Amino acid sequence: MELTLSSGTEVVIRPIRPDDKARLAAAMARLSDDSVRKRFLAPKPRLSGTELRYLTEIDYIDHWAEVAVLKRDPEAIVGVARWIRDPRDPASAEAAIVVGDALHGQGLGRALGAAIADAARPRDVRRFTATMLSDNVAAQRLFAAISERLLVEHDGATDAVVAELAA
């Protein structure tokens, strides 16, 4: 799917592929410390080979991920969104989204969120769960935008969010 962000930057959103390992590692390395902390709730210097395999060699049934790449430079991953089904509750999946700092606030997070929600519905995932820092307003708004109902449970510095997906 092609998309023009509010800044005019053109991106392509597509499912992640096994050959995205180096692109994903490079994208992670470009993220600011603040974005890494918000995405992983911890500092995370670099992804191991095992983690890169886990993140790119997915089954598209219980684990789905989309990347956004620049249209003018498809080697540059500028956003990633994924969900992983909860084996104990197959209608639930843990979701996570990250957008490269240079493109924050231009609608890409919301588009990635909508893309993974579109992939979730036909695979019988009805809700996304996520843990985020309580002051992460952008993430909360994003999950609110893609859901019919949003439950937020405060737990100290973090919020546990349950987003019931719109049908």
Ligand X SMILES: CC(C)(COP(=O)(O)OP(=O)(O)OC[C@H]1O[C@@H](n2cnc3c(N)ncnc32)[C@H](O)[C@@H]1OP(=O)(O)O)[C@@H](O)C(=O)NCCC(=O)NCCS
Kindly list the residues in this chain that would bind ligand X in the complex (CB under 6 A).
Answer: 35, 38-39, 96-99, 104-110, 130, 132, 136-139, 141-142, 145
Q: Tell me the CB-side half-sphere exposure of residue 11, using CA atoms within 13 A.
A: 24
Residue 15 Cβ, how far from ligand X at the closest point, in Å? Answer: 18
Other Cβ atoms within 10 Å of 93 Cβ, number: 25
CB nearer to ligand X: give 49 or 156.
156
Question: Which residue has the closest beta carbon to ligand X?
Answer: 109
**Residue closest to 115 by CA, chosen among 68, 160, 70, 61:** 68
Query: Of 96 and 115, which has the nearer Cβ to ligand X?
Result: 96
For ligand X, the closer CB: 62 or 133: 133
Min dist CB 50 to ligand X, Å, is 22
Question: To the nearest whole angstrom, how small is the minimum distance from the Cβ of residue 30 to ligand X?
Answer: 12
Q: In terms of CB distance, is 18 or 153 closer to ligand X?
A: 153
Tell me how far apart the alpha carbons of residues 143 and 72 are, in angstroms, rounded to a whole number. Answer: 29
Report yes or no: 14 and 66 within 8 Å, Cβ to Cβ. yes
What's the token pair of residue 97? Answer: 């989204």
Q: Which is nearer to ligand X, 65 or 97 (CB)?
A: 97
Considering the complex, what minimum distance in angstroms separates the CB of residue 61 from ligand X? 21
Neighbours of 155 (CB within 10 A): 9
- For the bound state, the minimum distance from the C-beta of residue 123 to ligand X, rounded and expressed in Å, comes to 20
Q: What's the sign of the alpha-carbon dihedral 127, 131, 133, 134? A: positive
